[in-house]
């Protein structure tokens, strides 16, 4: 129970059934709703008071100023919006929320560096940049010297709500919640390095197993050599030598990390320490900058060490490790946001709401295990909502398995989707008691972000691709992926989880990973994608395809394509024609290394097969006429893990 309580798992909607239809039934429910709202607000204010007192007792400067206290109280009081209804209509809550009036609460001054919504706390009420910066520099020093490590970074400027969220985990024992203080949560930098670290550990233990890419979710595949297959005796000997070098370099780095005092939560088991160390340990540039003295000693952009004299040795050890491995960690992580579809419709269709509650409770329990299996770090798993960090390669498969967990959880209580498409295997019930037209289903938004991107922007993007792309544009029961590169470029892909096509049901998650598996630097490279884009600009203007036909007639003015045109040069081609163009461009690649016994016909068939898969992933769902975008193949190339710096 205590372990589960470390993580937010409660849904944001509750239902209470009243005591019959007596004259006092409605009054009892109103009193229950008012008591629940009051209890929530009072509990929140206790957390706020405890946080305020903790910072006051640390001697935070000017903590008792009148303006600061007024600013704190205002932000605390405005945090929660609580809505309740007493009704026999299951749709009453949704209707009530449509009546909401949003007060104008835009706050002046410097914005909070975490949420970006409220003003940052300061003795002058957050009005002046200099005052805010000086105030939070002093607060950070006091808090970080209290024995819990670095809880507030030098560049943090926090509002009251974000301050409570940052400090509360340190106060769980004081508040009598029966939990140990939680002083550490893995940073995005640590999560970004997880794939690489796990691959190195596997390589050091068993190089031959790493070359075969054994085990899903291990991150080993990114360390495989292009075209690796069966391991010959010569290659196995070379692998053993490489393994010995990797292990020696890895052991040296871990020894130095312990001696230098790299930040790691107290009590972390030795085998888990590599995954809990400050992730900057694994990024050469950050260590090099500090070794050259180019950054301030307390800068958050470099690795903080208790024994800074060992930084040059750490730098040399990391360089030796990367040379032995042949690559470094990519600076990308994934943020997954999931939300159940049509929840209001489900509650209206299921006459026994307890079944829905049971399904959601079952899902939260299963989701925790699934997130851990894919090396994820959950932020919350409550009701039909999921928010979690993952290594990039694991996020989409984790989302697919979470969808299975969701469907299984509803099937276990007798609730399933009407068409049965993508129904979860192994239902616990003999037959569904409710076969619903709308739901249960769940959609996902995943952002692959550079670790240097502001986290608040990544969180906003994850919810945007979930709501606006996966749910609205793709029609729910879908996933949407967004690749955000530090250069500013991006790529977006949206697909249904499963789709009935002419040749059967297509699992788009597996199709995307299959395309990623096809991709090698000498096959579907950035150069090839660039060449394909130029071809599509000519033969599929605007990304639109004509309907498939033997004649290959182009789309005309009535086709629905933007700027419909008459037949002629530059008209949209059919899918079959585009497949042949892609295959031809693929075969032009002089770097392709075909086995000696591969005939020209076999080469052509393989090229056509990969061209069809590439085009299928590139097809934008729901369009008429068909529209294609190379964003999908770009994301597949990113998922293939090619490029130590994460080039897509």
Q: What is the pLDDT of residues 128-143, one digit of tens each?
A: 788 898 899 889 888 8
pLDDT at 376 exceeding the cut of 90: yes
pLDDT score of 551: 35
Instruction: Note the pTM of the prediction, 2 decimals.
Output: 0.78
Q: Kindly report which listed range (192-196, 202-206, 254-258, 369-373) carries the lowest average pLDDT score.
A: 202-206
Task: Return the residue matching tokens 């996966």.
Answer: 470
pLDDT score of 537: 67
pLDDT at 445 exceeding the cut of 80: yes
pLDDT score of 288: 63
User: Which of 102-140 are b and which e, b meaning 16 or more Cβ less than 10 Å from the residue's Cβ?
Assistant: eeeeebebbbbbbeeebbbbbbbbbeeeebbbebbbebb
pLDDT at 296 exceeding the cut of 60: no
CB atoms within 10 A of CB 71: 25
pLDDT at 119 exceeding the cut of 60: yes
Q: Kindly report which listed range (190-204, 482-496, 632-646) carries the lowest average pLDDT score.
A: 632-646
pLDDT at 310 exceeding the cut of 80: yes
pLDDT score of 507: 87
pLDDT score of 546: 58
pLDDT score of 76: 95
pLDDT score of 502: 62
Largest Cα separation within the chain, whole Å, is 87
Higher pLDDT, 568 or 576: 576
Q: How confident is the model at residue 90 (pLDDT cuts 50, 70, 90)?
A: confident
Tell me the per-residue pLDDT of 158-172, one tens digit each, with 9 for 90 and over. Answer: 999 999 988 888 887
pLDDT score of 485: 84
Q: Kindly report which listed range (25-29, 461-465, 526-530, 564-568) carries the lowest average pLDDT score.
A: 564-568
pLDDT score of 388: 96
pLDDT score of 482: 96
Q: CA-CA distance, 555 to 573, in Å (whole number)?
A: 8
Tell me the per-residue pLDDT of 448-457, one tens digit each, with 9 for 90 and over. Answer: 999 988 888 8
Q: CA-CA distance, 336 to 333, in Å (whole number)?
A: 10
3-class SS shares of the chain: helix, strand, coil, % to 5: 50, 10, 40
**pLDDT-above-70 percentage for the chain:** 73
Tell me the per-residue pLDDT of 604-619, one tens digit each, with 9 for 90 and over. Answer: 888 888 788 777 777 7
Task: Return the residue matching tokens 């595949």.
Answer: 221
Tell me the per-residue pLDDT of 532-544, one tens digit each, with 9 for 90 and over. Answer: 777 666 666 666 6
Higher pLDDT, 145 or 646: 145
What Cα–Cα distance (Å) separates residue 132 from each residue in 109, 129, 516? 9, 5, 47
Q: How confident is the model at residue 3 (pLDDT cuts 50, 70, 90)?
A: very low
Write the DSSP symbol of residue 473.
Answer: I
pLDDT score of 141: 86
pLDDT score of 430: 45
Higher pLDDT, 167 or 587: 167
pLDDT at 293 exceeding the cut of 50: no
* Residues in Cβ contact with 16 at an 8 Å cutoff, skipping those fewer than 6 apart: 29, 32, 33
**pLDDT-above-90 percentage for the chain:** 28
pLDDT score of 377: 93
What average pLDDT does the segment 486-512 reach? 82
Higher pLDDT, 515 or 463: 463
Q: CA-CA distance, 240 to 206, in Å (whole number)?
A: 8
pLDDT at 213 exceeding the cut of 70: no
* Residues in Cβ contact with 276 at an 8 Å cutoff, skipping those fewer than 6 apart: 184, 186, 190, 264, 265, 268
pLDDT score of 292: 47
Tokens of 352: 């026994």
pLDDT at 50 exceeding the cut of 70: yes
What Cα–Cα distance (Å) separates residue 614 from each residue in 530, 628, 630? 14, 10, 9
The answer to whether residues 303 and 262 touch, using CB atoms and an 8 Å cutoff, is yes
pLDDT score of 625: 53
Tokens of 427: 């239902």
pLDDT at 372 exceeding the cut of 90: yes
Mean predicted lDDT score pLDDT of the chain: 77
Q: CA-CA distance, 525 to 588, in Å (whole number)?
A: 13
The answer to whether residues 163 and 51 touch, using CB atoms and an 8 Å cutoff, is yes
Sign of CA dihedral 446, 447, 448, 454: negative
Q: CA-CA distance, 316 to 285, in Å (whole number)?
A: 12
pLDDT at 226 exceeding the cut of 60: no
Q: Kindly report which listed range (213-217, 311-315, 517-521, 601-605) carries the lowest average pLDDT score.
A: 213-217
For residue 251, the surrounding DSSP H or E stretch is: helix 233-260
Higher pLDDT, 472 or 561: 472
The answer to whether residues 474 and 465 touch, using CB atoms and an 8 Å cutoff, is no
pLDDT score of 562: 33
Q: Kindly report which listed range (271-280, 545-554, 582-591) carries the lowest average pLDDT score.
A: 545-554
Q: CA-CA distance, 562 to 524, in Å (whole number)?
A: 30
């Amino acid at each position: 129970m205590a372990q589960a309580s470390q993580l937010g798992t409660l849904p944001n909607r509750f239902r209470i059934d009243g005591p019959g239809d007596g004259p006092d039934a409605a009054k009892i429910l109103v009193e229950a709703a008012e008591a629940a709202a009051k209890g929530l607000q009072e509990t929140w204010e206790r957390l706020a008071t405890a946080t305020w007192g903790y910072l006051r007792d640390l001697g935070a400067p000017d903590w008792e100023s009148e303006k600061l206290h007024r600013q704190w109280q205002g932000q605390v009081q405005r945090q929660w919006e609580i809505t309740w209804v007493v009704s026999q209509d299951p749709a009453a809550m949704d209707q009530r929320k449509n009546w909401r009036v949003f007060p104008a609460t835009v706050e002046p001054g410097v914005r909070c560096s975490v949420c970006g919504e409220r003003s940052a706390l300061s003795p002058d009420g957050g009005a002046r940049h200099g005052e805010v910066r000086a105030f939070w520099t002093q607060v950070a020093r006091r808090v970080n010297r209290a024995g819990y490590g670095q809880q507030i970074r030098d560049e943090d400027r926090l509002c009251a709500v974000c301050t409570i969220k940052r400090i509360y985990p340190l106060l769980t024992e004081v508040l009598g919640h029966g939990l140990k203080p939680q002083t550490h949560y893995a940073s995005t930098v640590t999560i970004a390095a997880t794939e690489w670290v796990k691959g190195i550990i596997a390589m050091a233990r068993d190089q031959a197993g790493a070359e075969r890419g054994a085990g899903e979710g291990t991150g080993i595949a990114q360390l495989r050599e292009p075209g690796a297959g069966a391991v010959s005796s010569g290659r196995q000997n070379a692998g053993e030598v490489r393994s010995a070098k990797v292990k020696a370099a890895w052991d040296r780095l871990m020894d130095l990390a312990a001696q230098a005092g790299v930040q790691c939560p107290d009590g972390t088991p030795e085998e888990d320490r590599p995954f809990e160390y400050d992730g900057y340990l694994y990024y050469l540039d950050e260590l090099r900058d500090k070794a050259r003295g180019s950054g301030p000693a307390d800068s958050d952009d470099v690795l903080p060490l208790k024994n800074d004299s060992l930084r040059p040795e750490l730098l040399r050890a990391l360089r030796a490790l990367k040379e032995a491995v042949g690559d470094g960690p990519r600076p990308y992580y994934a943020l997954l946001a999931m939300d159940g579809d049509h929840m209001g419709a489900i509650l209206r269709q299921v006459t026994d709401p307890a079944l829905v509650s049971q399904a959601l409770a079952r899902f939260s329990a299963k989701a925790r295990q699934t997130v851990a299996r894919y090396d994820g770090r959950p932020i919350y798993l409550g009701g039909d909502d999921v928010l979690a960090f993952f290594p990039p390669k694991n996020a989409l498969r984790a989302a697919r398995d979470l969808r299975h967990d969701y469907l299984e959880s509803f099937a276990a209580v007798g609730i399933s989707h009407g068409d049965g498409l993508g129904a979860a295997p192994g239902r616990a019930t003999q037959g569904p008691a409710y076969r619903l037209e709308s739901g249960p289903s769940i959609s996902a938004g995943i952002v692959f972000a550079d670790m240097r991107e502001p986290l608040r922007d990544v969180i906003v993007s994850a919810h945007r691709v979930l709501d606006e792309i996966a749910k609205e544009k793709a029609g729910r029961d879908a996933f949407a992926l967004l690749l955000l590169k530090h250069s500013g470029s991006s790529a977006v892909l949206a697909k249904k989880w499963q789709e009935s096509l002419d040749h059967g049901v297509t699992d788009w998650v597996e199709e995307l990973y299959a395309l990623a598996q096809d991709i090698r630097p000498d096959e579907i490279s950035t150069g090839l994608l660039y060449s394909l884009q130029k071809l599509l600009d000519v033969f599929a203007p605007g990304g639109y395809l004509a309907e498939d036909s033997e004649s290959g007639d182009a789309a005309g003015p009535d086709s629905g394509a933007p700027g419909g045109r008459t037949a002629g040069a530059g008209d949209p081609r059919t899918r079959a024609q585009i497949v042949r163009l892609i295959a031809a461009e693929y075969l032009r690649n002089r770097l392709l290394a075909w086995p000696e016994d591969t005939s020209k016909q076999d080469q052509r068939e393989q090229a056509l097969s990969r061209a069809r898969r590439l085009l299928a992933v590139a097809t934008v769902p729901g369009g008429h006429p068909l529209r294609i975008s190379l964003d999908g193949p770009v994301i597949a190339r990113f998922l293939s893990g090619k490029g130590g710096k994460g080039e897509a």
